[in-house]
Amino acid sequence: VLSCLNIKNTNVHSPLPVAAVCQMTATPDKEANFFVCKNLVEEAKQRGASMVFLPEGFDYIGSNQEETLSLSESLGEETVSRFTDMARKLEVWLSLGGFHERGPNWKTDRRIYNSHIIINDKGDIVTVYRKAHLFDVELLEKGVSLKESASTIPGPSLIAPVQTPIGKVGLGICYDLRFPELSLALQRQGAEILTYPSAFTVATGIAHWEILLRARAIETQCFVLAAAQVGPHHSKRSSYGHALAVDPWGEVLGDCGGEQPGLIMVEINLEKLENTRKNMPVQEHRRNTDFYHSLEKTK
């Protein structure tokens, strides 16, 4: 497993909790993808990570809608159970950033959720967040045309941040990054770390990826961890890469680049978060929700 660029070297034996943010190139081959993930998680654990973040589509990225649907599973089937076993054996927390989960009416409608699963170091599923904002975008001049809603059901609700060994983690997935309302809602519920596992297109990644991640970190004064897919998944689709870690001041702590799989090791210093919020108390200065909606009521 290749290590990506850490802007600030992380001491593996740091007294601070350490997260590993991973980058991979998933294909339609589920077995091959699993072994890539396994190697990343083992490497991360060996280097001192207490929580490992895998990207959206860690299980697979299909080459067409029919393949995407036929490869999907429920939470109780083989793929997730292999990761719960892995978490238990290695005694590490996992963020599985986007699993193709069969929906509640799969037998009649063949529709799925894009599900972000958190597993603890005992191998228990702690929570599941189902992606709320679906990527239906046509940027024909940039060669981007995807309609996630053709096969995917939008998640019914946000999920409260989860207490983990690295801090309180608020969950999003990929396109959710473009909706600051989501990150602010998670911050109000105590999130210290926001995570946006992704498979960003190359065109939108070049234009917006780092800017959006840094903006979410700055406006919420949270750490932001974004595992990513990179490179060609099959003949029809490639991802931007640049798995990123950002601190609450908006500084980039590590970047996996745009070419190959790997991981970044990141110390999560919650004292830095507390100081950032204390020195610039943005949340205290925020007016109540009605104030921001008052403009909509004016004529």
Tally of CA atoms within 13 A in the half-sphere of 138 that contains its CB: 2
Tally of CA atoms within 13 A in the half-sphere of 114 that contains its CB: 31
* Catalytic residue chosen out of the listed positions 174, 192, 256, 267: 174
Beta strands per DSSP E along 209-270: 223-226, 228-234, 237-240, 244-246, 252-255, 262-267
Positive or negative, the CA dihedral 79, 160, 124, 87 is positive
Helix (H, G, I), strand (E, B) or coil at 231: strand
Q: CA separation (Å) from 114 to 22, 88, 171, 197?
A: 18, 24, 12, 11
Region of 263 on the Ramachandran plot (φ > 0 left; ψ -120 to 50 alpha; else beta): beta
* Catalytic residue chosen out of the listed positions 4, 37, 45, 56: 56
56 is catalytic: yes
* Catalytic residue chosen out of the listed positions 45, 131, 222, 256: 131
> At 61, phi and psi to the nearest 5?
-130, 110
Instruction: Name, in order, each residue with C-beta under 8 angstroms of 205's C-beta and a sequence gap of 6 or more.
Output: 239, 240, 241, 242, 258
CA distance 47 to 239: 27
Q: CA separation (Å) from 130 to 83, 96, 102, 152, 172?
A: 18, 12, 11, 10, 8
| C-alpha triplet 13, 196, 49: angle, nearest 5° | 15
174 is catalytic: yes
Q: Report, as residue numbers or ranges, the catalytic residues.
A: 56, 131, 174
